[in-house]
Structures are given as structure tokens and as C-alpha cells.
């Protein structure tokens, strides 16, 4: 039987999404598909998986991404599904824990891709906000509400970017210390 759950995760908190998926797997719900905030699970308490997420450089259907996904099969890492450039992987917990982004350079690349994504979102929100502010002088209450919501989204987007950037700085410091 399939179970639908809804949850909202921001791109800088992908680790929390992994934790949530891992907890649901321990409860017998195994991920099937993802679309925005909608998660579809299959009930199966005979297996338990560890889930990992990665934001790829290219679309999952790109040949480079396909080759990467195929290469993970050698480590018994299974491709579950994707949403946009986010890819969901899993491996049975009986095989031990696994990391997709084991070295600092991989993590830096991952966070850099998420900063690029955040930048695109911030730009689009800013354009919408400016457009809406031009109309706000007519004092339509809906425009005021939309402008406030867009401003909040803009703040969240900027916060996301700064948080990701601070992670990159931390990883670069760790990398220098190891050398």
C-alpha cells in the first residue's frame, strides 16, 4: 500500500530531509517518489534503508548523471527517484552506512550548486517583488500581502545563500588544516 506524506525542506537543510527519510524507513515506509513537498512511500517493513540526497550538476537524464548514477550501483547504492536536479539514493542498512559527498571538494561543489540555485530563486523573487511594489501604490490589499510574502521569501533566500556560503568557508578551512 502506498502512503503520501507532505513535508517542506529548504535546500540548505537536505540533511534534515535525509534524517526524516531514514526515520520513516525504520518505521517501514520506503520512498518511491518526490514532487515539491509531496512524498510517496511504499509500506515495507521487511527492509530498512539509509537515504542520501545529492544535487547534481546536470539533469538526472543527462548522460553524465546517468553514468554517475550507474557507477554507484557497484557500491549497492540504489537510485530511488529524482526531483529537478535533486537525486534520492538509498542502500540497505545491513550493508553499512554510506556517504555520497565524502571528501571536502565534493561537498564544496554540492554547496556551490545549491548557492547557484538559491541565486536564481532570489533573482526571480526580487523581480516579482519589484513588479508588485510598482503596483502597490494603488493600495490593493492583495498586492501588499503578496509583497510582504515575497519579501519574506527573499529574506529566506538570502539566509539560505549565506548559510551555504558559511559551510563552504568551513570546509575550505578544514581542507587547509588537513594539508
**Full-model pTM:** 0.78
pLDDT value of residue 6: 96
Q: In whole angstroms, how far apart are CA 2 and each of 47, 142, 168, 179?
A: 16, 39, 38, 49
Asked if pLDDT for residue 136 goes beyond 70, the answer is no
Asked if pLDDT for residue 138 goes beyond 70, the answer is no
The model's confidence at residue 134, banded by pLDDT at 50, 70 and 90, is low
DSSP string, 49-109: EEEEEEE-SS-TTSHHHHHHHHHHGGGTPEEEEEETTEEEEEEEGGG----SS-SHHHHHH
Q: How far apart are CA 31 and CA 24, in angstroms?
A: 9
The model's confidence at residue 139, banded by pLDDT at 50, 70 and 90, is low
Asked if pLDDT for residue 73 goes beyond 80, the answer is yes
Query: Tens of pLDDT along 50-70?
Result: 999 998 888 999 999 999 999
Q: How far apart are CA 168 and CA 16, in angstroms?
A: 18
Establish how many alpha carbons lie within 13 A of residue 166's alpha carbon, considering only the half-sphere containing its beta carbon.
7
Amino acid at each position: 500500500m502506498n502512503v503520501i506524506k507532505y513535508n517542506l525542506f529548504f535546500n540548505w537543510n537536505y540533511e534534515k530531509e535525509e534524517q526524516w527519510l531514514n526515520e520513516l524507513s525504520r518505521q517501514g515506509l520506503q520512498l518511491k517518489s518526490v514532487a515539491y513537498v509531496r512524498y510517496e512511500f511504499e509500506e515495507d517493513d521487511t527492509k530498512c534503508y539509509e537515504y542520501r540526497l545529492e544535487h547534481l550538476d546536470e539533469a538526472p537524464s543527462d548522460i553524465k548523471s546517468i553514468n554517475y548514477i550507474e557507477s554507484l550501483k557497484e557500491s549497492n547504492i540504489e537510485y530511488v527517484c529524482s526531483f529537478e536536479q535533486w537525486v534520492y539514493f538509498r542502500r540497505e542498512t545491513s550493508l553499512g552506512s554510506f556517504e555520497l559527498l565524502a571528501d571536502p571538494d565534493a561537498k564544496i561543489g554540492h554547496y556551490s550548486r545549491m548557492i547557484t540555485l538559491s541565486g536564481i530563486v532570489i533573482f526571480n523573487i526580487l523581480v516579482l517583488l519589484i513588479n508588485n511594489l510598482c503596483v502597490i501604490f494603488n493600495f490593493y490589499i492583495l498586492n501588499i500581502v503578496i509583497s510582504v510574502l515575497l519579501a519574506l521569501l527573499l529574506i529566506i533566500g538570502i539566509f539560505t545563500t549565506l548559510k551555504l556560503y558559511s559551510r563552504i568557508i568551513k570546509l575550505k578551512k578544514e581542507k587547509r588544516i588537513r594539508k
